[in-house]
Amino acid sequence: MDTNFVDYVKICCRSGKGGPGSRHLHRDVFTAKGGPDGGDGGRGGHVIIKGNKQLWTLIHLKYRKHVIATEGESGGSSNSSGKQGKDEYLEVPLGTIAKDAETGEVLFEIKEDGEEHIIVAGGRGGLGNSHFKSPTMQTPRHAQPGEAGRNEWKILELKVLADVGLVGFPNAGKSTLLSVVSAAKPEIANYPFTTLVPNLGIVEYRDYKSFVMADIPGIIEGAHEGKGLGLRFLRHIERNSLLLFMVSCDSKDIVEEYNILLNELKLYNPELLLKERVLAITKSDMLDAELEAGLTKEVTKGLKGKKKVPFIFISAVSGKNITQLKDLLWEKLNHYDF
């Protein structure tokens, strides 16, 4: 299992306190009792989230439970402002969503490389006494203290950005397909839940083109309620442009299995049904021509009247129709404006 894939972290972010304003009165060789010239305090450091397209996981933040920005410095004489506190930057992969840990409110999503958002703002610096001079108070001896920093728990959640998301029950052959069409090396074995984290692979296509495929851990009935590997992985499917449903040819009822998968997605988020879909019937190297013809009729009949879903018989082991599958996926990805 790839324990390096971390898609959820909870972090305590503490922004810096603002520096106090200065209460200085101007004094020099020629001036015994000058007016106020206290400068403003510097603002406290922000905690800032920044997008980095080179990152694929939140593992670098897994053990960083506390992020603390520095305080702003005090204002000085001659109206000089205090130095700002140093901002703390947290770099995250594209597709990261920031939430408030208490309310669950989504604050923002990082979509672009270099995109920045302040997740916890530093305290404002206090105003120096020069701001408080008035006709009735020529020499104010008070200044503002700096604003306190904030201490807040935030959640960072990664949703995998991929063109094609593989959807299927455990052991449907998703990892095997990904290992054949890309350079990804997911763990593969003949038992359910081999895939415990999403695996990403770059699928090479004709003329040096490529697209990204994500093998998402298998869905079981009740996944939308958190059963099996549950909601943690269903959220990754939200980010895929196209969903490739995978059902084994030795399933008792291919269309019924497809419908159960579809229903789980619908119960989790009905908008997922708006995405383009392709159905791949896997492990079909076990079928002879007669059996495949029979299943074709059965599946065509079962899908009749529903949203038109192209289906294809494939075998990742024998290579059957893998090139044709890539052609179909490429056509779907580029034919529709997502």
Residues 184 and 219 in one domain: yes
pTM above 0.85, yes or no: no
Residues 296 and 241 in one domain: yes
Q: Please say which residue of 158, 190, 212 terminates a domain.
A: 158
Q: How many CB atoms lie within 10 A of CB 291?
A: 12
* Edge-to-edge order in the sheet of strand 88-92: 88-92, 47-51, 116-120
Predicted local distance difference test score (pLDDT) of residue 136: 81
Burial class (CB in 10 A: 0-12, 13-18, 19+), 116: middle
Residues 144 and 179 in one domain: no
Find the helix or strand (DSSP H, E) in which 311 lies. Answer: strand 311-313
Residues 213 and 134 in one domain: no
Close Cβ partners of 69 (under 8 Å, ≥ 6 residues apart): 14, 15, 16, 44, 45, 46, 47, 85, 86, 87, 88, 120, 122, 149
Give the alpha-carbon dihedral of 275, 278, 283, 288, to 10 degrees: 160
Residues 72 and 42 in one domain: yes
Predicted local distance difference test score (pLDDT) of residue 192: 38
Residues 189 and 225 in one domain: yes
Residues 124 and 64 in one domain: yes
- Distance of alpha carbon 193 from the chain centroid: 23
> Do 330 and 211 meet the contact criterion of CB atoms below 8 Å apart?
yes
Residues 218 and 181 in one domain: yes
| Model pLDDT for residues 254-313, shown as the tens digit of each residue | 999 999 888 878 887 777 788 889 999 999 998 999 999 999 999 999 888 667 899 999
Binned at pLDDT 50, 70 and 90, residue 10 comes out as very high
Q: Please say which residue of 158, 192, 220 terminates a domain.
A: 158
Q: Please say which residue of 136, 158, 180 terminates a domain.
A: 158
Close Cβ partners of 250 (under 8 Å, ≥ 6 residues apart): 283, 286
88: its two tokens: 């703390």
60: its two tokens: 């670098």
Write the CATH number for 219. Answer: 3.40.50.300
Which of 123, 133, 122 minimizes the C-alpha distance to 23?
133
Residues 174 and 318 in one domain: yes
* Edge-to-edge order in the sheet of strand 210-215: 199-204, 210-215, 164-167, 242-248, 276-282, 311-313
Residues 113 and 215 in one domain: no
Residues 199 and 327 in one domain: yes
Predicted local distance difference test score (pLDDT) of residue 183: 63
Please give the mean pLDDT across all residues of the chain: 83
| Domain ranges, residue 84 | 1-158
Write the CATH number for 124. Answer: 2.70.210.12
| Count of structural domains within the chain | 2
Phi, psi of 123 (to 5 degrees): -70, 145
| Model pLDDT for residues 41-92, shown as the tens digit of each residue | 999 999 999 999 888 778 889 888 899 999 999 999 889 999 999 999 999 9
Residues 25 and 146 in one domain: yes
Phi, psi of 326 (to 5 degrees): -60, -45
